[in-house]
Every structure is written in C-alpha cells, then in structure tokens.
C-alpha cells in the first residue's frame, strides 16, 4: 500500500469541505460552515489492484494563497485547487495561485477543479471555460456527487504512474 498526502485548497466558499465530506462520508450539507485551520482525514481507494491511502487535508479558504502556512504543504504529493464555477472572483487568480502552489510543493501533482457544476447549464460551463486562461482538469458537484470519485481516482492513478 502506498500513502499520499493531498491538500484541498482554493478561495473560501468554493466547496472544499463539501468535496472532502462527499468523498470521505458520501454526505452533503447545504449549510456553509467555514473551515478554521485544517481538517484531516483519510480514505483508502483501490486502483488497478493496488491500495492507495489518501491523507486529505482540507485547509481554510484564502483568497490569497500566501496566507496558508507553508508547513501545510510539507510532504504533500497532490494538491486539489478548487474554484466555484458560479463565482468569477474565485477563478480570477487561478494562474498565479497555481504558480504559487507549484513553488510550495514542486513535486506535487496539481488538479484544478471547477466545483458546483450542478448550478450551471452546460452552455454556462462552456462560457466559463472560454474565459479562463488556465485549463481545469475536471468539473464536479459535491451536492450531486458528479465526478467526485473520478477526481480522487484520477489523482490516485497519477500517483501510481
């Protein structure tokens, strides 16, 4: 079995905790509760017959990534950068945030995730895609569960490559 540390980061209110809870517990709560500091949990997944233990760190949302303690990134193998497809303010700094995150954990695999796809039509999602300069890896909905499992499985597969 291999074990990997994954950081969930992005602006406040983008759904980091909701994705965390949907993946770990298969639960969704409409109530918004801000994360203070960091919440850590783990879940094992099986990929191609190999067990991969994911240690997930759900860190408090910050518009400016440089306010996150550097120590959170120590030993991280993956970073999931989440933005809210319905709030342009959460994706205006993706490029600079990703650059910063790559500097903090230069060996980590970074996945860019557009969350809350259940709140937009496919046409609106295409409009968001057209205005972003940084491509995203996957769109998700913590509420419906769309692509949540796929997100973590794709990261687990990348660890095995």
Burial of 66 (0-12, 13-18, 19+ CB in 10 A): exposed
Which tops the pLDDT comparison, 81 or 63? 81
Over residues 79-94, mean pLDDT: 94
How far apart (Å, rounded) are the C-alpha atoms in residues 102 and 139?
A: 21
How far apart (Å, rounded) are the C-alpha atoms in residues 122 and 98?
A: 25
> Taking the complete model, does pTM exceed 0.85, yes or no?
yes
What CATH architecture applies to the domain 2-160? 3-Layer(aba) Sandwich (3.40)
How far apart (Å, rounded) are the C-alpha atoms in residues 110 and 108?
A: 6
Q: Phi-psi bin for 143: left (phi > 0), alpha (psi -120 to 50), beta?
A: alpha
Q: Rounded to an integer, what is the distance from CA 10 to the centroid of its chain?
A: 7
What are 118-143's pLDDT values in tens digits? 999 999 999 999 999 888 999 999 99
């Amino acid at each position: 079995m291999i074990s990997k540390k994954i950081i969930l980061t992005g602006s406040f209110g983008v759904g980091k905790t909701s994705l965390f809870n949907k993946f770990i517990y298969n639960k969704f709560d409409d109530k918004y509760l801000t994360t203070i500091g960091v919440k850590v949990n783990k879940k094992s997944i099986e990929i191609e017959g190999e067990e991969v233990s994911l240690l997930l760190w759900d860190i408090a949302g910050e518009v400016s990534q440089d306010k996150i303690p550097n120590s959170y990134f120590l030993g991280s193998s993956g970073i999931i950068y989440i933005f809210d497809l319905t709030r342009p303010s959460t994706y205006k700094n993706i490029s600079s945030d990703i650059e910063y995150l790559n500097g903090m954990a230069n060996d980590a695999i970074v996945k860019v995730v557009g969350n809350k796809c259940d709140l937009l039509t496919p046409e609106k999602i295409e409009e968001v895609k057209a205005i972003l300069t940084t491509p995203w890896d996957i769109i998700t909905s913590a509420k419906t569960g769309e692509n949540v499992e796929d997100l973590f499985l794709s990261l687990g597969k990348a660890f095995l490559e």
